[in-house]
Amino acid sequence: MTTAGMRLAAAASGAYRRVFAAGPVAPLLSRPNPVRRTGYDLDVVVRRVRQEAEDVVSLTLAGDDLPAWQPGAHLDVFLPSGLQRAYSLCGDPAESTYRIAVRRLGAGSREIHALREGDRLRVRGPRNAFSLVGNAPSYLFVAAGIGITPILPMARALPGRLVYLGRSRATMPFLSELDGAEVRPDDECGPPDLREILSLAEPGAAVYLCGPPPLTAPAQRILRELNPTASLHTERFSPPVVEGGRPFEVHLRRSGKIVEVGAEESALSAIGRVLDVPYSCRQGFCGTCKVRVLDGEVEHRDRLLTPSERGDAMLVCVSRATGRLVLDL
């Protein structure tokens, strides 16, 4: 028998979900957990270099007492040129070495491809901004291309369904390590149908998706329509598209330069036209591009800074301003 109290509780639960989980203000009221940090700066040696697919190599890194890690973790790698880049760990957490895999795209990846066995590197981490939830009733893993790197150890750690997308089998690394995966190359299966793929998630499933923005951007909306009880966890391997941005002006105090940041570009990109700024993830979780704010109101969009840090600092890769901004650069 349904009592008045039960009806009131149900109504309250529905109202909570509409506001905090599904409403337009949900991203503001339920911000993501800050990135988990472990480890420290480490010296490692390249123990093995292996060609995994067209333009993809894996590096096995060895060192003394390497910190433990969990699926979803990444390393910050300091390259010989001084560049810093973040790469997902894609080996076995039980092993005493680290493994990363890198597709040749930009300057940083070309340096990785030039490394040889015996070369030494400095790395930082591991850190995890893509943590694996271990208590979901079921799992759906979706990886596109090099997005398999964080997904691979996840699919090994927990039972679930893995859909692996790519241009062709020749471009898709680690195929030999994916027993039971649904491999769907574009040249065999056609362009991926994200709605059909997400429909494979069971009620209450945890869906882990890693791929380019055209795949990840509409995923939350589609999954909410198809399966509102499921949860979506995503990681990109390219910068997010700027949403709701407005133009603003940045004054670089020490260099004496002024740059205009367009509505659809990041402050990092705009500043990069006149000044070199260190960066790595370009997604607001590693902190490499953190700069001191001398004046102005920041629109913080990162996943790293604490409330106290946000008073006088920002990550220029994702955060913006509501007007004129003065930075210590």
* Mean predicted confidence (pLDDT) in 34-57: 83
Cα 6 to Cα 1, 9, 229: the distances in Å are 9, 5, 21
**Whether the predicted pLDDT of 26 surpasses 50:** no
C-alpha to C-alpha distance for 42 and 312, rounded to whole angstroms? 29
**Whether the predicted pLDDT of 27 surpasses 70:** no
Element at 231 (helix H, strand E): strand 231-236
**Whether the predicted pLDDT of 8 surpasses 90:** no
Phi, psi of 227 (to 5 degrees): -150, 80
pTM over 0.75: no
Element at 124 (helix H, strand E): strand 120-128
**Whether the predicted pLDDT of 44 surpasses 70:** yes
Q: What is the pLDDT of residue 33?
A: 38
**Whether the predicted pLDDT of 273 surpasses 80:** yes
pLDDT for 263-272, tens place per residue? 989 999 999 8
Q: What is the pLDDT of residue 134?
A: 86
Residue 101 neighbours by CB under 8 Å, 6+ apart = 52, 56, 57, 58, 59, 87, 88, 90, 146, 149, 173, 174
Q: What is the pLDDT of residue 202?
A: 97
